[in-house]
Amino acid sequence: MNISQAIRKRKSIRAFTKEDVPKKLVDKILDVARYAPSGANSQPWQVAVVTGKTKKKVTEILLEEFRSGKGEDRDYEYYPSNWQEPFKRRRIECGIQLYETLGIERRDKDGRMKQWEANYRGFDAPVILFFFLDPSLAIGSYMDSGMFIQSVMLAALDEGLATCPQAALSGYASVVKEALGYSKETILLCGMALGFPEEDALINSYRTPRIGVDEFTSYFD
């Protein structure tokens, strides 16, 4: 599989097998991803690899926070408060595609809630990665971290693993940082489910569309 094939093949997976991911394999993935570019070679990323009892503890805390209805506690605004077109339409279509694939109707509030809660369990993947930034850094380091996170996903794919980058796992930042022993000031960027894909799972059967190059590109001679 070459680079172009890997980029096209990668997609967010939301059902994983129960097979454990060896630590040496996680290390191998991160060892590849560390070659991602960063401004002034700052290499700002910090990664928490969470498995086993700690993963169970963290996901239980996240579910408790979500069910409490207290509202999210993010370190930064991932999404706009007021969605504009065409982004609003794409967001809605993304959700529709997920629920239609699973046969969950719009009026099925319990079904939708159950599926949404799966986010806070990391879709039951054996590994959850949490990505952090030092608070002294600026916006450029968010860009650097994005390139690193993409590198993690592609390196995982090369090893036969699947991923799902998740904004939901950073929705309750304070409790995650407390559970893992990170400073309150540290910025929690996002989480990522990591594991071996359950190939026949219905939720893994669809692929969100991408707009054409001509829709986002302008050439200037």
pLDDT tens digits, one per residue of 124-167: 999 999 999 999 999 999 999 999 999 999 999 999 999 999 99
- For residues 104 and 195, what is the distance between their CA atoms, to the nearest angstrom? 25
pLDDT tens digits, one per residue of 7-41: 999 999 999 999 999 999 999 999 999 999 999 99
Residue where the block lists tokens 């592609």? 154
Per residue in 168-194, is it b (16+ CB within 10 Å) or e — as a string?
bbbbbbeebbebbebeeebbbbbbbbb
pLDDT tens digits, one per residue of 36-59: 999 999 999 999 999 999 999 999
Q: How is residue 184 written in tokens?
A: 């309150």
The three-state secondary structure class of 114 is: helix
Q: What is the structure's pLDDT at 70?
A: 84
- For residues 172 and 170, what is the distance between their CA atoms, to the nearest angstrom? 6
Whether 180 has a pLDDT exceeding 90, the answer reads: yes
Q: What is the structure's pLDDT at 31?
A: 98
Question: Which runs of consecutive H residues, i.e. helices, occur in 78-212?
Answer: 87-102, 109-120, 140-158, 173-180
In percent, the amount of the chain with pLDDT more than 70 equals 100
Query: What is the model's pTM?
Result: 0.96
Q: How is residue 122 written in tokens?
A: 């990391």
Whether 95 has a pLDDT exceeding 90, the answer reads: yes
Q: What is the structure's pLDDT at 128?
A: 98
Mean pLDDT for all residues in the chain: 97
Q: What is the structure's pLDDT at 178?
A: 98
Q: Are 25 and 31 in contact (CB under 8 A)?
A: no
Give CA separation, 191 vs 38, 127, 129, 151, in Å. 20, 10, 5, 14
What is the domain partition of the chain in residue ranges? Answer: 3-79+120-203
- For residues 130 and 118, what is the distance between their CA atoms, to the nearest angstrom? 17
Residue where the block lists tokens 């969950």? 104
Mean pLDDT value across residues 198-211: 96
Nearest CA among 90, 44, 33 for reference residue 209: 90
CA Rg, the chain, in Å?
18
Q: How is residue 116 written in tokens?
A: 């949404």
Is the domain 3-79+120-203 a CATH 3.40.109.10 member?
A: yes
